């Protein structure tokens, strides 16, 4: 590998966009190495301005099967892992009681 190739690789890694990170609550852990995370956000209603809750459910990869239903987790965007999985669990913020 030449020096020019090494600098090109370094430039490519520096210019890569940062990945999305979201926090959500696990609503299902029935699958193997997969959890369903509900991401809740509050947005103003387009006409009336009242704050409305929007919930999006995404599937996330959990390699150790350590996260359980009710846990609050931080997930990060990743390459497609399956038909529906595009996120992975980074860490468990808060355990369910």
Give the domain CATH number at 44.
2.40.50.140
pLDDT for residue 34: 96
- Continuous segment of H or E residues that includes residue 42: strand 34-44
Is residue 79 included in any domain, yes or no?
yes
Is residue 8 included in any domain, yes or no?
no
Is residue 49 included in any domain, yes or no?
yes
Output the tens digit of pLDDT for each of the chain's 97 residues: 566 555 555 555 567 789 999 999 999 999 999 999 999 999 999 999 999 999 999 999 999 999 999 999 999 999 999 999 999 999 999 998 8
**What does pTM read for this prediction?**
0.79
Is residue 85 included in any domain, yes or no?
yes
What residues make up the domain containing 46? 19-94
Is residue 70 included in any domain, yes or no?
yes
Q: 85-94 and 51-61 as β-strands: parallel, antiparallel, unpaired? A: parallel
Looking at the 3D structure of the chain, how many domains does it have? 1
Q: What is the dihedral of CA 8, 13, 14, 17, to 10 degrees?
A: 130
């Amino acid at each position: 590998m030449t020096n020019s190739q090494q600098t090109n690789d370094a430039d490519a890694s520096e210019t890569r966009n940062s990945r999305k990170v979201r926090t959500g609550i696990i609503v299902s852990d029935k699958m193997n190495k997969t959890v369903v995370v509900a991401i809740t956000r509050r947005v103003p209603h387009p006409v009336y301005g009242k704050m409305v809750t929007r919930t999006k459910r995404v599937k996330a990869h959990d390699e150790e099967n350590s996260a359980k239903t009710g846990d609050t987790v931080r997930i990060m965007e990743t390459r497609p892992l399956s038909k529906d999985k595009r996120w992975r669990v980074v860490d468990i913020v808060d355990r369910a009681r």
